Amino acid sequence: MIYLDYSATTPMSDAALFAYQKAAKNYFGNSNSLHQIGQEAEHVLYLSRKSIASPLQIQPNELYFTGSGSEANFLALTSLASANKHKGNNIVTTRCEHHSVLQALHYLQSQGFTITYVPVNEQGLVTVEALEEAISENTILATFAHANSELGTVQDLVAIGQLLSNHKVLFHSDCVQTYGKLPIPVDVLTSLSISGHKIYGPKGIGATFIRSQYHWKSFLEGTTHEFGFRPGTVDVPSVVSFATAAEDIHTEREQEMKRLSLLRERVVKALCNNSSVVFEGHPTKRLPFHLGIRLKGIEGQLVMLECNRKGVAISTGSACRVGQSSPPQSLLAIGRTHEEAHEFIRVTFGKWTTEKDTDTLVECIQSIVSKFRKD
């Protein structure tokens, strides 16, 4: 089976697996325990925290481990919003955000916050003009993903961040899809979220960065782990494995992203003259390993199943939306009809993707178009 769904999850690297096993065997103590075994686990936890924080150029004590990228988003948004509610109750975002962000905002609405959705252009970009119009005197927080997991479009966080800073609005960004893959302009952010299983590390581990100068309020009062940010014994082996994966992916980031970008261009070149194929998202401001595609008149679900039957694993969008009958919200947000949005498929490359794999993908798509396209 050819795996082309790396934005959903990645297989663990050998190094990350080895690190997990070694840490689970030798550093099994509760990192909050005061005895030697607990303190050894705490020391390893600190070294891992420092290692993950280093590429972001942040302080280790500004990084809080969570159970996933989704939880990292939820805790960042609820913690910052709750702590700053006395300043205002409005939060600004788009309808293109990850499901976990939209869930967090839905919860905050139930707590008395209002949500303003900034329109995006046809390629999924937030414009400074649209954002300026959306900000009000009650706006205290904004959240925009660095890269949209479905469209692949990468936002200009610097321009967005500068505008938000001028209005004294806190800025959170979901960076799960870009950590270890693209440079992240952390200096314009108040907080961000990352995840282990997107970079060949383990599932069930994520992290939130919140700049130390900003006040946050714990979602569950009385929490003692992770500086009071999140309850529950920290999974030290997963953190160590996460740190190992982070070190590896940053070491080879530029070279690997260039390789994957060439593979993406290879597919685009092979399919660009096919009138049934539509590429979604921004053509250049995008994830270099990502393809958002529509096959006109053919359901994305059908394309995914046909590819699966031919031995190629792709998706119809974010894995967090599986089981929902509605099409990807990001496609509707950029002006596609429900019918067009249902045509969407997502193809993402990774460490083990080869030219031969991309050629097989092209053959699959061309054969599906020939079989099911009705002119």
Helix axis angle for 14-26 and 236-251, nearest 10°, is 150
Label residue 39 exposed, middle or buried (CB < 10 Å: 0-12, 13-18, 19+): middle
* Closest C-alpha among 288, 260, 291 to residue 362: 291
Distance CA(269)–CA(87), nearest Å, equals: 51
What is the pairing mode between strands 170-174 and 206-210? unpaired
Q: Which residues contact 264 (CB under 8 A, 6 or more apart)?
A: 288, 289, 290, 291, 349
Q: Tell me which residues are annotated as active site.
A: 320
What region, left, alpha or beta, does residue 79 occupy, with left being phi > 0 and alpha being psi -120 to 50 degrees? alpha
Reading the block at residue 83, the tokens are 């702590």
Q: Phi, psi (5° rounding) for residue 192? A: -155, 165
Is the Cβ–Cβ distance between 250 and 55 less than 8 Å? Answer: yes
What is the pairing mode between strands 312-313 and 2-3? parallel
Is the Cβ–Cβ distance between 315 and 173 less than 8 Å? Answer: no
Segment holding 102, helix H or strand E: helix 99-110
Q: How far is CA 94 from its chain centroid? A: 15
Distance CA(282)–CA(121), nearest Å, equals: 10
Q: Which amino acid is at 174?
A: D
